[in-house]
């Protein structure tokens, strides 16, 4: 496999499209309204409960500034929300490089758009396993798949994409967009990428540590076997 070597990038990138999917909706309304004020043409793409929250925050503006990911991809969410954003069009928009003719052709071929900003925080796994009534099945259900994938893709493409994973960063990020007249600098994108990869690493470490504490035979007792078999793991 031949890896791309990017040599030409932009310092400041205008925010035109944001992919938003958050478990923790703290200050989401502040971020959305602030971004719309700083970037009047921005469009938010979102899923599930985040889409509903943004629709309420944006009000009448949602007609022009909010798109459901399922409408964009043409695929409804999998039952239980297991698959919402794992779609080729999504990752074209996250990983495409600015001055790459082949990527431009892929975007045009698929009717895809570039995402300039990803706002994602993950299912509350650590909080869930910290509950006294947490079962392995409850913990399993709170292992986020799409969230870490989006964060990794956006952070990898820091040459063009900003990735917000912590609501505590929203205020400073909005100040950056105001200073930049709707754009975000390379320095900010890179700093956010550093934090994003640290966030995902800690999340995966927490899952690995939790599973390492469990015994498979004890976990199996929480399930009814659909076929004859044993629980002798």
pLDDT category at 230 given cuts 50, 70, 90 is low
What is the Cα–Cα distance from 39 to 52, expressed in whole angstroms?
21
Q: How far apart are the first and last CA of the chain?
A: 40
Given a cut of 50, whether residue 233 has pLDDT beyond it is no
Sheet with 43-46: list strands edge to edge: 66-68, 43-46, 17-22, 117-121, 162-164
Structure confidence by residue, pLDDT tens digits, 169-190: 999 999 999 999 999 999 999 9
CA-angle at 71, arms to 109 and 145, nearest 5°? 90
Question: In angstroms, rounded to a whole number, what is the distance separating the alpha carbons of residues 170 and 153?
Answer: 20
Backbone angles phi, psi at 96, to 5 degrees: -65, 140
What pLDDT, in 10s, does the model give residues 44-69? Answer: 999 989 999 999 999 999 999 999 99
How far is Cα 112 from Cα 105, in angstroms, rounded to an integer? 10
pLDDT at 232 over 60: no
Domains defined for the chain, CATH in brackets: 13-220 (3.40.50.1380)
Neighbouring C-alpha atoms within 13 Å toward the C-beta of 151: 26
């Amino acid at each position: 496999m031949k890896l791309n070597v990017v040599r030409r990038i932009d310092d400041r990138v205008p925010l035109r499209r944001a992919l938003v999917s958050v478990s923790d909706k703290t200050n989401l309304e502040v971020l959305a309204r602030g971004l719309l004020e700083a970037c009047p043409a921005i469009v938010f793409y979102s899923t599930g409960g985040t889409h509903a929250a943004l629709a309420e925050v944006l009000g009448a503006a949602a007609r022009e500034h909010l798109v459901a990911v399922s409408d964009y991809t043409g695929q409804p969410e999998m039952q239980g929300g297991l698959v919402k954003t794992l779609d080729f069009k999504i990752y074209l928009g996250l990983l495409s490089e600015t001055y790459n003719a082949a990527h431009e052709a892929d975007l045009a071929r698929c009717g895809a758009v570039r995402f300039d900003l990803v706002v994602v925080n993950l299912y509350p796994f650590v909080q869930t396993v910290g509950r006294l009534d947490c079962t392995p099945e409850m913990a399993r259900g709170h292992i986020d798949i799409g969230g870490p994938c989006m964060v990794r893709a956006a952070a990898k493409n820091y040459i063009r994409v900003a990735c917000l994973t912590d609501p505590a960063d929203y205020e400073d990020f909005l100040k950056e967009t105001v200073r930049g007249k709707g754009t975000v600098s390379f320095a900010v994108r890179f700093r956010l990428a550093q934090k994003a990869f640290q966030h995902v690493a800690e999340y995966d470490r927490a899952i690995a540590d939790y599973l390492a504490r469990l015994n498979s035979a004890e976990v199996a007792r929480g399930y009814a076997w659909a076929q004859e078999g044993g629980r002798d793991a």
